[in-house]
Structure 1
């Protein structure tokens, strides 16, 4: 690690193979916390390259506990986190709404590092037991239309740096990696990024792969469609800026999607929305994200049609029932 750190301190970049090798060594717990913190800090001080991100991703995918869910045509809906906006759990709620429409969801997630409540915090608060048993995950998909892939159960490298990440309490390149390394390799993905540069890197990496994807970045900094302003959308068909008004939606205030100051606060909001008692702003944000997720799976579907499907899932309490089924299995 010393040689790698000296190289990085001289403003040099890692090749794809070097990046892969160093992350494999990190996963093997070859380095102490000081080395890990120094290594992660480098990529907070300058942009990560496509080769570096690709190399790190290749290492995690090579080392991960893989599960084969390919027969279900799943979608993952996940953001990088690290946007500092402290919203409620939009991507997780969106996942349950999408599952409530009948679409299979393989949600990849983790505990929060830089916000109050991550997807794993939320699922754990509802009593969900994390597992990497493929048989159990398939049962969840068949009976609840959704399964949850808790990152530390699948990624030894994530586990090796978890204490350092928690101590730093800042977004690191691991935030950028999470959405790219779902161990089930779903064929459909809606990914959110905390900055435009990461969105472009994702697009560069994913555009040659045999998957359907949408990458979103709200221009005011959210790693999801926030309806607080316009957002950039990348797909295999190109890129575009979309404003709430283009979708027939009202712009909302940041305070309207605040997630509270604790996991308990976030869980209360989560339950309220699933009960059909969310505010208009809360509902429209999750429904809009759900509609774009459904459009990724079927690009012939109009936004209006997808939005109506999502509404039926939410207000028909199918999304709520999906959560209840998942936790009860």
Structure 2
């Protein structure tokens, strides 16, 4: 590792093969904690390259516990690390999409740089994580949604979990998370905290046989925040959408705060799903869910997808998906 670190400290970058090999060795605990921390720190000081991102992704997918959950699946996920402390918007949007009839294979983890990640909030609400394919398929069948808790499927992440928690900073593992869903869903809506990383994702995902939508709010959120304009990338290019173009109006940042504790975050989540959310909370979740439904190209234009999302939330169908998962 010392040679690798010296190579990187001299402003060199890794090839795809080198990146893959090193991450596999990290997962096999071949290096000590100080060496791994130094390696991770390199990517806090500069942007990861496309080849490095591809190599790290290949390593995690190769090491992942395999799972086959069928076709026509959607994931709605964010890189995290935007420092905005919003409530769990992408996870709520996932339940609304499931309540609208689209099957969701949600990939998530505990929060590292945020108070409450998707795994935190679902665990707080009583959901039991599962790593058995039959159980996950059963969840999909009854609730239209299953949740893949990343540490159960990615042994490589277990080995660096204490390090990530100790650093408490956004690392390249945040960037990798949305790219390594072991179910390999056909559709991925990914929120990204920076335009630079969004373009890397775009280059990488254009090579893959999947539909994707990359979302970045221009004021720094890794989701459609409605606090300003949103840039969206897909296979056809990129566009900027105002809140008005998404059939809403601009909102203030404090209206979508995620609370100060995990329990508070879970309560906000549950109240929104029960239909007790504020106009601003509902608006943000509905805009993200509608865009995810639009991506599947099965539910018509955005306006029709927004109607489906509203029906899912306000009828209680989205809440029913959570209740079915918890039983």
Q: Partner residue of 2:188?
A: 189
Q: How many angstroms does 1:70 deviate by?
A: 2.3
Q: Check whether the contact 2:116–2:262 (CA below 8 A) recurs between aligned residues.
A: yes
Q: What is the Cα deviation at residue 248 of structure 1?
A: 2.2
Change (3 A) 1:146 1:299: closer
Q: Find the aligned partners of 1:223 and 1:275 in 2 and give their Cα distance.
A: 24
Task: State how 1:42-121 maps to structure 2 within 5 Å.
Answer: 42-71=42-71, 73-121=72-120
| Aligned counterparts of 2:57 and 2:319: Cα–Cα separation in 1 | 34
Q: CA deviation at 1:131?
A: 1.4
CA contact (8 A) 2:99 2:313 kept: yes
Q: CA deviation at 1:38?
A: 0.8
CA distance in 2, matches of 1:82, 1:274: 24
Deviations 1:268-324 (A, max 9, x none): 111110111100000000000000000111177211100010000000011111001
Query: Who is 2:161 aligned against?
Result: 162
Counterpart in the other structure of 1:41: 41
Question: Is this contact kept in 1: 2:122–2:266, CA < 8 A?
Answer: no
Report the Cα distance in structure 2 between the residues aligned to 1:101 and 1:49, rounded to whole angstroms.
38
Task: Say whether 1:173 aligns with 2:172.
Answer: yes
Give the 3-state SS of the residue equivalent to 2:283 in structure 1: helix
Name the counterpart of 1:317: 316
Cα distance in 2, alignment partners of residues 36 and 96 from structure 1: 36
Question: What is the number of equivalent residue pairs in this alignment?
Answer: 327
- Runs of 4+, deviation exceeding 6 Å: none
Provide the residue aligned with 1:273 in structure 2. 272
Query: Equivalences for 1:102-141 in 2 at 5 Å?
Result: 102-141=101-140
Q: Distance in 2 between matches of 1:322 and 1:131?
A: 16
Aligned partners of 2:46, 2:270: CA distance in 1, in Å? 39
**Distance across 1 between alignment mates of 2:208 and 2:149:** 24
Q: CA offsets, 1:235-289, max 9 Å, x none?
A: 0011111111212210001100000101111111111101111000000000000
1:10 aligns with 2:10: yes
Are 2:299 and 2:305, in contact at CA under 8 Å, matched by a contact in 1? no
Unmatched runs of 5 consecutive residues or more in structure 1: none
Verify the 8 A CA contact 2:293 2:299 in the aligned structure 1.
no
Q: Name the residue aligned to 2:19.
A: 19
Q: Give 1:236-255 correspondences, 5 Å limit.
A: 236-255=235-254
Instruction: Kindly state the Cα deviation for residue 327 of structure 1 after the two structures are TM-superposed.
Output: 1.1
Q: Normalising by structure 2, what TM-score?
A: 0.99
Tell me the CA shift for residue 112 of structure 1. Answer: 0.3
Alignment of structure 1 residues 221-236 onto 2, 5 Å:
221-236=220-235
User: 1:202-213 counterparts in 2 under 5 A?
Assistant: 202-213=201-212
For residues 245 and 309 of structure 2, the distance between their equivalents in structure 1, rounded to whole angstroms, comes to 18
Do residues 152 (structure 1) and 178 (structure 2) align? Answer: no
Take 1:192 and 1:40, find their aligned partners in 2: how far apart are those partners? 22
The CA distance in 2 between the partners of 1:299 and 1:102, in whole Å, is 11
Task: Identify the range of structure 1 (237-246 vs 109-118) with the bigger mean alpha-carbon deviation.
Answer: 237-246
Alignment root-mean-square deviation, CA: 0.9
* TM-score, normalised by the number of residues in structure 1: 0.98
